[in-house]
Amino acid sequence: MEVTARAPGKIILSGEHGVVHGSTAVASSIGLYTSVTIHFPSQNENDGNLKLRLRDLSLEFSWSISHIQECLKESNKADCLKPSAPAAYLSNLQALVEEQHIPEAKFGLASGIKAFLWLYTCIQGYGFPVCLLLDPLSLILAEFLQLVSLFIRYKPATVSVSSELPMSSGLGSSAAYCVALSAAFLSFSSATKLDVGKQGWQEFEDDELKLLNGWAFEGEKIIHGKPSGIDNTASTYGNMIKFKSGNLTPFTSSLPLRMLITNTKVGRNTKALVAGVSERTKRHYEAMACVFSAVDSISTELSEIIKAPAPNDIAITEFEEKIEELMEMNQGLLQCMGVSHASIETVLRTTLKYKLTSKLTGAGGGGCVITLLPTCILELIFFIWIHFNLYHYLPFSLNPPSNGEKLSHFDR
Ligand SMILES: Nc1ncnc2c1ncn2[C@@H]1O[C@H](COP(=O)(O)OP(=O)(O)OP(=O)(O)O)[C@@H](O)[C@H]1O
Ligand SMILES: C[C@@](O)(CCO)CC(=O)[O-]
Ligand SMILES: [Mg+2]
């Protein structure tokens, strides 16, 4: 028995970091995916283990189900239903992660493996929405579930992950990983309504997406510490979104926007960068509040411009210039927040030579930079020809993806 789920990465057009502090941000999913296949062994294949295979890294981690059961026996399994993973449960999972031999150079994987174990044990255990306990009536249910949890047995499984997204580069690899994992696990949870009975890739209804997004957000919290939720929301819902304080407004662009993504290949860690901005905010509260307010205005204006009726051929340059100006202003504010990097500045200077505007995307500190490619195709060809050997390009289009590519999907 097997299911595959895939979820897209994203770019942030405006508002990263500010969105953690309540500003509006604008993001779009991109056509690069993380895929997760969960395979439950037949009786003959069953070796009693839970395995995580990271195909791109040629790594495999394995735990016996009885050992997981033993390690979590002290945990209150109803903890899985709380809006955030409790420390006691997480420290038991940490012990399970630490006994694996993670190569030193790949130490960042530890948080991803912990998120995997959290999502697997919780969704396998219950599969209820994490927000369930916010409803007072369900407190009674929690008592009952605590009793039931004594009888929960996790199923042995092999979970394989592969991704087209560069890891730790600002394209939402952690969110795509959490969305695809949650989708695959939920499709086998008897407690959920996700219907994977039909053949082929599928799309889901709003309440199902909400459930999936809620679980993916829990995974992101384990990897990021304090995520805003924009990355998992862009990956779950697809297309373009405006996002503020947990609220999503989906919209589409009236015109195709072409962006070039340049990967500086400088590794960084979103959790550390987000923490750095929070520290700066504590030191300079008034000044940073003004920065976040400016970010909010820029993102709001950007979303209005993008969704406005398509301009005619003459007005198209004006349309692109407005977007470029807002991207430039946003990049300036990201520099104020301290999340740019010498490698990012090099890309900015290089693209500027060809009158092209760029900004960092995602958490910054290295990672990826986006450049708006105006309709002038000659300039575009020239730019790619000049710099093809210097950077790794991941081209994509902001046209709304076709139906079949909208969201995380399931395939039985
Ligand atoms: N395919 C994957 N397999 C295993 N772990 C992954 C995978 N993709 C992401 N991760 C986890 O996510 C971490 C990277 O997340 P991080 O948030 O730092 O970068 P990002 O999501 O690529 O960038 P951003 O958050 O700026 O968009 C990795 O160190 C790992 O723990
Ligand atoms: C840096 C950040 O704003 C975006 C990372 O893609 C973090 C977040 O919103 O969770
Ligand atoms: Mg991330």
**Separation in Å, CA 330 to CA 14, 249, 286, 354, 356:** 6, 20, 18, 20, 15
Question: Can you give the pLDDT at residue 317?
Answer: 85
Question: Can you give the pLDDT at residue 130?
Answer: 47
User: Of the bound ligands, which one is closest to the alpha carbon of residue 25?
Assistant: 2
Shortest-distance Cα residue to atom 10 of ligand 2: 227
Question: Can you give the pLDDT at residue 142?
Answer: 56
Task: Quote the CA–CA distance of 223 and 302 in Å, as a whole number.
Answer: 29
Fold topology of 258-397: Alpha-Beta Plaits (3.30.70)
Share of the chain above pLDDT 70, in %: 77
Q: Which residue has the higher pLDDT, 269 or 152?
A: 269
Q: Which residue has the higher pLDDT, 166 or 137?
A: 166
Which atom of ligand 1 is least distant from the CA of 54? 3
Residue pair 59/161 in contact (Cβ under 8 Å)? The answer is no
pLDDT value at 397 more than 80 = no
Q: Give the distance (Å) from ligand 2 centre to CA of residue 137.
A: 34
Q: Is 363 in the pocket of ligand 1 (CB under 6 A)?
A: yes
What pTM was computed for the model? Answer: 0.88
Residues 211-217 have a mean pLDDT of 92
Q: Give the residue extent of every domain in the chain.
A: 2-251+402-411, 258-397
Q: What is the pLDDT of residues 175-203, one digit of tens each?
A: 999 999 999 998 877 655 455 555 556 66
Candidates 139, 168, 155, 121; CA nearest to 39 is 155
Indicate the DSSP class of residue 310.
P
Helices (H) and strands (E) in the chain, counts: 12, 13
Q: What is the pLDDT of residues 220-263, one digit of tens each?
A: 999 998 999 999 999 999 889 999 999 999 998 888 888 899 99
Question: Can you give the pLDDT at residue 385?
Answer: 45
**Separation in Å, CA 116 to CA 51, 107, 160, 190, 222:** 11, 15, 11, 19, 10
Q: Give, in words, the CATH class of 2-251+402-411.
A: alpha beta
Shortest-distance Cα residue to atom 20 of ligand 1: 168
* Residue 411 annotated in active site: no
Ion ligand 3 — residues with CB under 5 Å?
174, 270
